[in-house]
Amino acid sequence: MPTIVFASPKGGAGKSTSAVILAAELARKGAAVTVIDADPNRPVSAWARRPGKPAALEVVSDVTEETVIDAIENAAARVPFVIVDLEGTASMTVAYAISRADLVIIPTQGSQLDAAEAAKAIRLIRQQERAFARRIPHAVLFTRTSAAIRPRTLQHIRAEFEAHGVPSLETQMHEREAYRAVFSFGGTVDSLTEAQVGGLDGAIRNARAFAAEVVGLLRQTQTAAAAA
């Protein structure tokens, strides 16, 4: 079953938010999902303790460097989708999780400084590819972007990644108050109300586009692997 790992050596890149939004969308479509919260700050676990977590979504916490591989493999044997939220640093836990990934998503904001941090994650992925003699599909996810404005800086960074063989998701995780509200109120963007936060329709469309692109990318990688 697919294991999707969110990795970036930079804290605040949007890993936990993106992981929760993706997991909630997959659960909404009826899939059983396990999120492995391997961030020492446990943001996903804190979200899961609030009301409204989808019944099909399980969160596994208290994961360590010694147990992360077992946690991933045990979850992958039970559910269709495993999502791993990692700490914002380079560590053996991050390396071990990447080694088990069917897809690594690298959240980054649209600045050159953030892109340099994302490049560190890409180097780690390529090290794991060499160590395990297998390709590890990966893509950059631009986060906290504007739904209305496409800065030239971001376009330049995307072009630089692609020139170096690093794909980027077409869907960006826009700057949405609804995504922050999920961690305040619990539940998902679908369970929020306009009384709690505005702009819900846009957040829901963005979340669904993100999940649909990730699922499509997983299908492409599985097809390519089967044909190899």
Q: What is the number of H-type helices and E-type strands within the chain?
A: 8, 7
Q: Is the pLDDT of residue 129 over 80?
A: yes
Mean pLDDT (whole number) for 25-53 = 95
49-93 tens-digit pLDDT: 999 999 999 999 989 999 999 999 999 999 999 999 998 776 899
46 burial via Cβ count (<10 Å: 0-12, 13-18, 19+) = middle
- CA 32/CA 24 separation, integer angstroms: 10
- Prediction pTM value: 0.93
Note the pLDDT of residue 228. 64
Alpha helices in 50-151 (DSSP H): 68-76, 92-99, 112-132
Task: Enumerate the domain spans of the chain.
Answer: 3-227
Query: 178, 189 in Cβ contact below 8 A?
Result: yes
- Residue 227 makes CB contacts below 8 A (sequence gap 6+) with none
Say what the pLDDT of residue 110 is.
80
Q: Give Cβ neighbours of residue 83 (< 8 Å, ≥ 6 apart).
A: 3, 4, 5, 6, 19, 22, 23, 33, 34, 35, 36
The pLDDT score that the predictor gives to residue 108 is 94
Exposure letters 131-152 (e unless 16+ CB within 10 A, then b): eeeeebbbbbbbbbbeeeeeee
| Tens digits of residue pLDDT in 144-200 | 988 777 778 888 898 989 988 899 999 999 999 999 999 999 999 999 999 999 999
The domain defined by 3-227 folds into Rossmann fold (3.40.50)
- 131 near 177, Cβ under 8 Å? no
Spatial CB neighbours of 80, under 8 Å, sequence gap ≥ 6: 1, 2, 31, 32, 33
Contact 69, 96 (CB under 8 A): yes
Q: Residue 113: CB partners within 8 Å, gap ≥ 6?
A: none
Q: What are the strands of the beta sheet with 81-86, ordered from one edge?
A: 57-60, 33-38, 81-86, 3-6, 103-109, 138-145, 173-174
